[in-house]
Structure 1
Amino acid sequence: MYSIDDKKYPCNTSLTMKFIGGKWKAVILIHLIEKKRYSELRKECQNITERTLSLQLKELENDGLLKRTVYTSKPPLKVEYELTDFGKTLIPLLHAIASWGEEALKLNKNIKVLEEVK
């Protein structure tokens, strides 16, 4: 049993899912393997609402996976996101998730490719 902020997690998997669980966190994290400005991330994650993206970014930052840097020295305001050292430990897992998705495309005839991913 594990505990973070008085919330209990019964196993390693549930602990991992605390950090990357949900519909969008892994998607956001894989796009942030390379540092990105908010506007770049927004373009790459078009299916996420702006509100959801902002909330998920805050959660990932609070969990210590992302670093948010705001540049205010000259207009316009520039915000960049990048993985922390702790967040970078997820890169092999994120690549494995993406690879599994590629395999699922080959093995599951119910999955239809609507548009090639760039």
Structure 2
Amino acid sequence: MAATSVDITSGGGLTHGGEGGNDGRQNSSEEWLLLRIGSLPRNSLGWFRCGVGFYNKKDYTKAIECFEKAVEMDPMNYNAFQIMARACIAVNRKDDAIAALKQSVMLDNPSDWQLLIELTSNKE
């Protein structure tokens, strides 16, 4: 499956330089943000945008952590569930991807139906 690129046109993503995000088992997303930025997001949108930044850097584990925080603060954020599912696919967490896609579809996001069907059609 091809990787999905995510573009946030309203800004706010993680675009600054620094050490790479995939060098072994690095800090959690919170530790990374505190170390390099000095603060943490205070709302669902902030965590969502951080997740997109990590996703675009292909640091899927940190992206998933951020999307989990985003949906904890706003359980109606189907965009976070949608991209979290793709990050879960990238790190072979198929069951978590299916759960996130189901939540997105339940929130009436029709764009996730196709991927959900593809993931569940080969499930034993």
TM band (smaller chain)? under 0.3
TM-score by length of 2: 0.27
Higher share of residues assigned helix:
2
Higher share of residues assigned strand:
1
TM-score by length of 1: 0.27
Q: Which has the higher contact order (CA 8 A, sep 6+)?
A: 1
The structure having more radius of gyration, on CA atoms, is 1
